[in-house]
């Protein structure tokens, strides 16, 4: 949809566990190889949290770093949204705990549970709070410890995911032409079981049986998700540009969810978008769910790949199935 949400990114930050797990670390204990993993996914290594690290600490550190980059005090934040499917606890929300850890005022804080789409939906949500005047400055974070819900005995999923957090401070645009020009948000609950965690909710509470049957780990129909992701990513990129009346060659950079390098390349190839205009860091971090877009965004901003006036698209898809995009004039 064509929109006019006058917001800008004031600063970004990331937090990563220090432990690096390479493909060869999996090859030594699962029936897999570095070559298979790299060819099928683009991944070489990922970060995995140590036992003392978890979603709250990573999310808080990423937010603190984004606040410093934005030259903004925690007390100036009017809204906090945390995208996560691996919350610190089932209750309360991780966002409430980050709010307290940062020393924010008693501002609204809520979690966004739309998996890999979490950060993009959080940006779209926060931007509307800012555009409506409800908030002037918002803190948006994607924080995940995917390793805590990944079955490390399942070679089909163990090799894909990593842990990380990335955050951005959004505020009312200071330049008249800056802001979000188009956004799309969608969901198809008919494909809910394409990626899911069978137990731990109201239907299958934790029991000895659910633990023994490994039902607290993420399950995924990789082939179906792959097909969905390629066609949805291409459709979203084209549709979002059309909504804003922007031509493909006017687009400066795409910051996509890092799910699989082949998914990203195939969608860009079908659309005719050169890969030089796409941020890819999956080789070093794997799929970090809601953290993947803000980590890639932070790297692109730090590397000087995003300048004022650029047209940048954030785009993601994931469990639900859900998808979302935001086209931003920086």
Q: DSSP labels for 30-97?
A: SS--HHHHHHHH--SEEE---TT--HHHHHHHHHHHHHHHTT--GGG--EEEEE-SS-SSSSS-HHHH
**Residue placing its CB nearer to ligand COA in the complex, 139 or 268:** 268
CA distance 106 to 78: 9
Q: Whole-number minimum distance, CB 109 to ligand COA, in Å? A: 25
**32 lies in the site for ligand COA, by CB under 6 A:** yes
Stretch that binds ligand COA, among 101-109, 211-219, 222-230, 302-310 (CB under 6 A): 222-230
CA distance 205 to 90: 12
Phi, psi (degrees; rounded to nearest 5) at 93: -70, 150
79 neighbors 111 (Cβ within 8 angstroms): no
The question of whether 106 is a catalytic residue gets the answer: no
Stretch that binds ligand COA, among 6-14, 131-139, 220-228, 298-306 (CB under 6 A): 220-228
**222 lies in the site for ligand COA, by CB under 6 A:** yes
Dihedral class, residue 127 (left if φ above 0, else alpha if ψ from -120 to 50, else beta): alpha
Question: What spatial distance separates the first Cα and last Cα of the chain, rounded to whole Å?
Answer: 18
Phi, psi (degrees; rounded to nearest 5) at 175: -105, 140
Catalytic-role residue among 257, 268, 281, 298:
257
Q: Whole-number minimum distance, CB 240 to ligand COA, in Å? A: 18
81-110: contacts with ligand COA (CB under 6 A): none
**155 lies in the site for ligand COA, by CB under 6 A:** yes
CA distance 6 to 177: 8
Q: Whole-number minimum distance, CB 297 to ligand COA, in Å? A: 17
| 156, 201, 274, 309: which one binds ligand COA (CB under 6 A) | 156
**259 lies in the site for ligand COA, by CB under 6 A:** yes
281-310: contacts with ligand COA (CB under 6 A): 287
Cα dihedral sign, 160-165-166-171? positive
The question of whether 298 is a catalytic residue gets the answer: no
Stretch that binds ligand COA, among 1-9, 35-43, 135-143, 271-279 (CB under 6 A): 35-43
The question of whether 23 is a catalytic residue gets the answer: no
**Residue placing its CB nearer to ligand COA in the complex, 96 or 149:** 149
Cα dihedral sign, 183-188-193-197? positive
Q: How far apart, in Å, are the Cα atoms of 291 and each of 58, 202, 203?
A: 10, 26, 28
Residues near ligand COA (CB under 6 A) are 32, 36-37, 40-41, 116, 155-156, 159, 220, 222-223, 225-226, 229, 259-260, 287, 317-318
Active-site residues, by number, are 116, 257, 287
């Amino acid at each position: 949809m064509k929109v006019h949400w006058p917001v800008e990114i004031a600063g970004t930050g990331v937090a990563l566990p220090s432990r690096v797990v390479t493909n060869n670390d999996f090859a030594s204990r699962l029936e897999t190889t570095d070559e298979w993993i790299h060819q099928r996914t683009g991944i070489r290594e990922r970060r995995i949290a140590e036992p003392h690290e978890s979603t709250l600490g990573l999310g808080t550190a990423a937010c603190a770093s984004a606040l410093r980059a934005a030259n903004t005090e925690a007390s100036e934040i009017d809204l906090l949204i945390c995208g996560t499917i691996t919350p610190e606890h089932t209750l309360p929300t991780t966002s409430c705990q980050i709010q307290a850890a940062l020393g924010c005022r008693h501002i609204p804080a809520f979690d966004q549970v739309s998996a890999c789409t979490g950060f993009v939906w959080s940006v779209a949500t926060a931007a509307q709070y800012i555009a409506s005047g409800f908030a002037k400055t918002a803190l948006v974070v994607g924080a995940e410890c995917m390793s805590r819900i990944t079955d490390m005995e399942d070679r089909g999923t163990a090799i894909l995911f990593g842990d990380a957090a990335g955050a951005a401070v959004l505020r009312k645009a200071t330049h008249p032409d800056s802001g979000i020009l188009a956004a799309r948000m969608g969901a198809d609950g008919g494909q809910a079981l394409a990626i899911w965690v069978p137990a731990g909710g109201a239907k299958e509470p934790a029991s000895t049986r659910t633990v023994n049957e490994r039902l607290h780990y993420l399950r995924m129909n990789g082939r179906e998700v792959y097909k969905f992701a390629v066609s949805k990513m291409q459709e979203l990129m084209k549709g979002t540009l059309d909504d804003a009346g922007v031509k493909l060659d006017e687009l400066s950079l795409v910051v996509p969810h890092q799910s699989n390098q082949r998914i990203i390349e195939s969608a860009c190839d079908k659309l005719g978008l050169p890969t030089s205009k796409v941020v890819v860091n999956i080789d070093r971090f794997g799929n970090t769910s809601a953290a993947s877009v803000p980590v890639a965004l932070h790297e692109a901003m730090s590397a000087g790949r995003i300048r004022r006036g650029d047209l940048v698209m954030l785009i993601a898809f994931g469990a639900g199935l859900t998808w979302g995009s935001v086209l931003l004039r920086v």
